[in-house]
Structure 1
Amino acid sequence: MKQRQFDPLKLDVEAFARDGGQLDGEWSMVDLPRLAEAAPPESPAATWPPLRWSVRGERVTPRAAEAQTWLHLEAEATVSLVCQRCLQAYAQPLAFARGLRFVRDEDLAAQLDADSDDDVLAMTRALDLRELIEDELLLELPLVPRHEECPEPLVHVDDELPEPAQDDKPNPFAALAALKGKGSKQ
């Protein structure tokens, strides 16, 4: 029997899982616009290494229960981010491996997702795998991007600030304090 061809940009999840399908490939990081917009100007997404991904479909039939549809998804990529300590661009590796369970509708997905540790999504006949992988990679981004160790020594802000100028002007709040003091003696 000839194996069916599946399009990762319009993946029929149910048929893919039923056939035990497997796909893998590479995409240019330019094709992931939400990740690409994190690129610093000196390191645009076009210069990043390609995203490598793989997906495997599976139908699981637990005892005395309805069959379950699963996608097992893995991806790895390297993006360029700006270190929040030294403000220099650096390469940040990202990787994930997830099992995603698909159910018949949004209501059931929301209920099962709240009740279990599994990631549960509603079934679709045209899943954009690239968009799903981009979502997962966005979740892998660090909250505060930074080098493990910055390549150049950090400059302490206190060292660069000039000493405050000594003025002969009286402090305006000292005059208010004096007025307040006069009012309390009466």
Structure 2
Amino acid sequence: MEKKLDPSHLDVVAFARDGANLQGQSPLGTLPRLLDEQFAGDLQAGQVLWRLMGRLVPQSGGADQIWLDLQASVDLPMQCQRCLTPVLETVEAERSFRFVADETTAAALDDEAEEDILVISRDFDALALIEDELILSLPLVPLHEVCPKVMPMSAVDPEFESESAKPNPFGVLAGLKTGKS
């Protein structure tokens, strides 16, 4: 009988030792911080699709390294920064994490290691990690490829434009200077 793995209470050591894979989909509502990033409009967010893979990497003269590979994606309605209407952005995250025994080791390795370092936990919340990675992968400026409606692009301030339509009170003086009326 295969035991059921819970991504919000994952034993990272056992998961990596077994070379386990876990995949699923979660409604956006189960990830409240990511839900806050969506734009209220007529577009619907998709399911959060995710996959976790555990692995051990053998080290000569030391204990095997514990790794967790993460892939996640979601279609998230956001506000186009060009036309200010909803745009459905596909947000994807793909990262690998190495786990170490304690915070001190993680802090010491964090500056020199290229990979992300996390502390081993027997009750690791992988769904929170998925949410974090998707938030970090959000586009800085969501845009349509081609906006559905054309927005007027004007460098002139409407207030300034209405002022320039008024007659210039010094226009008469300019006419006197050149001898014209």
1:129 aligns with 2:146: no
1:73–1:124 distance in 2 versus 1, CA, 3 Å:
same
Whole-angstrom distance in 2 between the partners of 1:14 and 1:51: 25
1:86 aligns with 2:83: yes
Give the equivalent residue in structure 1 for 2:175: none
1:123 Cα deviation from its structure 2 partner:
0.9
One-letter amino acid of the counterpart of residue 130, structure 1: L
Which residues in structure 2 correspond to 1:50-129 (within 5 Å)? 50-129=47-126
Give the share of equivalent positions with the same residue, in percent: 36
Please give the secondary structure, in 2, of the residue aligned with 1:56: strand
Give the equivalent residue in structure 1 for 2:28: 29
1:142–1:67 distance in 2 versus 1, CA, 3 Å:
same
Deviations, residues 155-181 of structure 1 (Å, cap 9, x unaligned): 123467233144649xxxxxxxxxxxx
Give the equivalent residue in structure 2 for 1:147: 144
1:43 Cα deviation from its structure 2 partner:
4.3
Q: Which shows bigger deviation, 140-149 or 89-98? A: 140-149
Structure 1 unaligned spans of 5+: 170-186
One-letter amino acid of the counterpart of residue 86, structure 1: C
Please give the secondary structure, in 1, of the residue aligned with 2:52: strand
Whole-angstrom distance in 2 between the partners of 1:139 and 1:69: 23
Give the equivalent residue in structure 2 for 1:4: 3
Q: TM-score, structure 1 length as denominator?
A: 0.81
One-letter amino acid of the counterpart of residue 21, structure 2: Q
Please give the secondary structure, in 1, of the residue aligned with 2:66: strand
Give the equivalent residue in structure 2 for 1:41: 40
1:151 Cα deviation from its structure 2 partner:
1.9
Structure 2 unaligned spans of 5+: 171-181
Q: CA RMSD in A?
A: 1.9
Please give the secondary structure, in 2, of the residue aligned with 1:81: strand
Please give the secondary structure, in 2, of the residue aligned with 1:115: coil
Which segments of structure 1 move beyond 2 Å, counting only runs of 4 or more?
2-5, 157-160, 165-169
